Amino acid sequence: MSLLELDGVSASYGHADVLHGVSFVLPDNGATGLLGANGAGKTTTLRAISGMVRTTGRIVFDGRDITGLGPDRTAALGIAHVPEGRGTLGQLSVRENLLVGAYRRRDRKQIAVDVDYCLDLFPNLRERVGSNAAALSGGEQQMLAVARAFMAKPRVMLLDEASLGLAPSTARRVYDAVVRLRREAQVAMVVVEQNANLAFSVVDDATVLETGRVALQGSSAELLGMDAVRRAYLGG
Ligand SMILES: Nc1ncnc2c1ncn2[C@@H]1O[C@H](COP(=O)(O)OP(=O)(O)OP(=O)(O)O)[C@@H](O)[C@H]1O
Ligand SMILES: [Mg+2]
């Protein structure tokens, strides 16, 4: 059964139509990638799913039409958007940021268990658990953004360029944690990445967008076998 399905989704900012009939399916516990050049519409696709942009077509999550529902309601249904630029709360500590992520939950004991799981996932954060988020490095802030999203106990995480601006080893650590969240916590993933090596380490399949349209779709193995994909996204 599919967890998330986009069917002919178009989206616009004011009078600017930027997505044109994007469709893909994410199975339960699946992980799918969105690739494409700058401005192709990757971020807008995630915004369409979480309800942050005017959208037509149909988006179905867990059997329910969520097209145009709005970010609060999609979040309440179990969609956690980790935006470009991270958006951690700088004046709050690492621990407080994690608790903010869990604000809809009432299962206090399990929240404590999950905070500990996040600190296990990201040992860097355990060392900084009392520090203000503003004092963290870029990599640590990205880790916190992923961990905070997990604290909502989402069914699916929408990850937008989690590697942006990070050293390769730090980006790898973030993605290792993403792989664990998928495997251990059964969080499905929609992964937007410019770094296709990182994306393909997580996803089973991917959609390549070009100026707001689907240009290619296939399994990771199929896409990795295409010269054009290798040239565009893997540097050869
Ligand atoms: N708030 C906005 N208002 C108007 N146009 C926007 C807005 N945000 C994005 N766009 C336009 O929509 C198109 C798709 O942008 P989007 O941010 O989805 O691309 P992207 O694939 O995420 O690119 P990048 O890799 O640079 O993050 C671009 O032409 C962009 O200029
Ligand atoms: Mg983007």
Per-residue pLDDT, 72: 95
Q: What is the pLDDT of residue 235?
A: 63
Q: Are 24 and 219 in contact (CB under 8 A)?
A: no
In the chain, what are the domains? 2-87+139-233 (3.40.50.300)
Residue 50 pLDDT more than 60?
A: yes
The minimum-distance atom of ligand 1 relative to the CA of 40 is 21
Nearest residue CA, atom 13 of ligand 1? 39
Give the sheet arrangement for strand 31-36, strand by strand.
Answer: 79-82, 156-160, 188-192, 31-36, 205-210, 213-219
Grade residue 230 by pLDDT with cuts at 50, 70 and 90: confident
C-alpha to C-alpha distance for 96 and 42, rounded to whole angstroms: 30
> Which amino acid, residue 124?
N
What is the structure's pLDDT at 105?
93
Structure confidence by residue, pLDDT tens digits, 159-178: 999 999 999 999 999 999 99
Ligand nearest to the CA of 45: 1
Within 6 A (CB) of ligand 1 lie: 13, 16, 18, 36, 38-44
Distance 171 CA to ligand 1 centre (A): 23
Mutate to test the pocket of ligand 1, among 35, 44, 46 (most ligand atoms within 8 A of CB): 44
Cα 204 vs. chain centroid, distance in angstroms? Answer: 15
- β pairing state of 2-13 and 16-27: antiparallel
The residue whose CA is least distant from atom 31 of ligand 1 is 39
